[in-house]
Amino acid sequence: MTRYSSIAALLFASLLAACGTKEVQSLTGTDPQGLVRFFNFGVNAPSVNFYADGTKMTAIQSTTGTESTAGIAYGGVGANGAYSTIDPGPHALTGKIAAATDKDLAISSVNATVEDGKYYSFYMSGIYNTTAKSVEAFVVEDNFAIPTDTTLATVRFVHAISNANAMTLYAKSTVTAVETAVGPEVAYKGAGAFVTLPAGAYDLSTRYTGSSTNVLTRPGVSFVARKVYTITARGDITVAPSTTCPATNRTCLDNTANR
C-alpha cells in the first residue's frame, strides 16, 4: 500500500506542475442595469400591476396559487418604495389593471429611455378617466447623491397634481423655526432639485408663486441623516387637503424615501 501511495503522490505532483500557477479566470461580472420604482398616484384609478414592456415589475403576494387581483392601489408604491432593476435602453412603462374586470388592460403608459446606473420614478398621475379608462403618467430621473456629511439629509419635491398650479415646497425646522425652500418652483409632472437639509423634524408646506398662503401642509416629518427623500404632492386640488396621505382623492404631501 505504501508503494502505490507513493506512486500516486508523485503523479499528483507532476500533474500540478504541468498545470502551473496561473489563476483561474472569473467569468462572473455585473450586468448593466437601471433602476425604476412605480407609484399609483392617479386619482380614482384602479389598482394596477406595473410592467416594463412585457415584463411584470411589481407584484402582490398571493396565497391561492394564482396571481393576486389586488395590485398597487391608489396612493401606493410598488415594492414598498424599493427600486426594480431593468436593462438599460428604451422601454414602455405601463400600469395595467390588476382586478378580474378589465384584467391587464393598460390604462397608463410612458416611453422612457433608462440609462445604466441611473434611478427613475414612474408616476401614474392626474385624474382617472372612467370612460376612456386611462390616466396620465410621467417619469422623472432620481439623480440623487447620498450625503457624506452625517448631519445632513437630502430632499426633493415632485408635483403630481394635474389641476394645481406650479408650487414650491418649504421645510420649516420644528426646532429653529428656520424655513427653507426645497428647490425651485415645480410645475405638474416636474421634479425639483435634490436639496440637503440638516437632519431633523420639519413642518412641510407648499405655496403658489407670490402667495404666502399654504396650499398643502404636512407637520412633523423627520428626515434622517444620510437618507434621501422625495416629497410628492398628489390628489385632486378641488378636494379639501389632508395633513396625512389617506387612500382617497384628498390632496396631500407623500413622503417616500429613495434610500
Q: Is residue 13 part of a domain?
A: no
Asked if residue 18 has pLDDT above 50, the reply is no
In single-letter form, the type of residue at position 187 comes to A
Asked if residue 182 has pLDDT above 60, the reply is yes
Q: What per-residue confidence (pLDDT) applies to 87?
A: 95
Q: Give the mean pLDDT of 144-172.
A: 96
Asked if residue 8 has pLDDT above 70, the reply is no
Domain end among 90, 124, 143: 143
Q: Is residue 35 part of a domain?
A: yes
- The total number of structural domains in the chain stands at 2
**Length of the chain counted residue by residue:** 259
228-234/152-159 β-pairing = parallel
Q: Is residue 7 part of a domain?
A: no
Are 139 and 149 members of one domain? no
Please name which of 190, 197, 216, 194 lies closest in space to residue 205, comparing C-alpha atoms.
216
Are 135 and 150 members of one domain? no
For the chain, the average pLDDT equals 89
Are 155 and 210 members of one domain? yes
Lowest mean pLDDT among 13-17, 38-42, 219-223: 13-17
Q: Is residue 88 part of a domain?
A: yes
Q: Is residue 11 part of a domain?
A: no
User: Which tens digit of pLDDT belongs to each residue from 202-232?
Assistant: 999 999 999 999 999 999 999 999 999 999 9
Confidence of residue 33 (pLDDT cuts 50, 70, 90): very high
Are 152 and 49 members of one domain? no
Q: Is residue 8 part of a domain?
A: no
Are 208 and 220 members of one domain? yes
Q: What per-residue confidence (pLDDT) applies to 35?
A: 96
Q: What angle do CA 131, 135, 139 make, to 5 degrees?
A: 165
Are 194 and 153 members of one domain? yes
Are 129 and 158 members of one domain? no
Asked if residue 13 has pLDDT above 60, the reply is no
State what percent of residues in the chain have pLDDT above 70. Answer: 86
The residue with cell 422601454 is 91
User: Which tens digit of pLDDT belongs to each residue from 67-95?
Assistant: 778 899 999 999 999 999 999 999 999 99
Are 66 and 152 members of one domain? no
Q: What per-residue confidence (pLDDT) applies to 30?
A: 57
User: Which tens digit of pLDDT belongs to each residue from 234-259?
Assistant: 999 999 999 999 999 999 999 999 98
Lowest mean pLDDT among 49-63, 165-179, 188-202: 49-63
Are 135 and 98 members of one domain? yes
- Domain of 50 in residue numbering reads as 31-143
Q: What per-residue confidence (pLDDT) applies to 62?
A: 67
Q: Is residue 246 part of a domain?
A: yes
Are 36 and 139 members of one domain? yes
Q: What is the CATH number of the domain that holds 192?
A: 2.60.40
Are 132 and 213 members of one domain? no
User: Which tens digit of pLDDT belongs to each residue from 89-123?
Assistant: 999 999 999 999 999 999 999 999 999 999 999 99
Are 159 and 257 members of one domain? yes
Domain end among 98, 114, 143: 143
Q: Give the mean pLDDT of 184-189.
A: 98
Q: Is residue 169 part of a domain?
A: yes
Domain end among 143, 159, 179: 143
Cβ–Cβ < 8 Å for 171, 202: yes
Beta strand segments in the chain, E: 34-40, 48-52, 55-56, 76-77, 84-86, 89-97, 106-114, 119-129, 134-141, 152-159, 167-173, 179-181, 195-198, 200-208, 214-223, 228-234, 252-257
Q: Give dist(CA 155, CA 184) in Å, integer.
A: 12
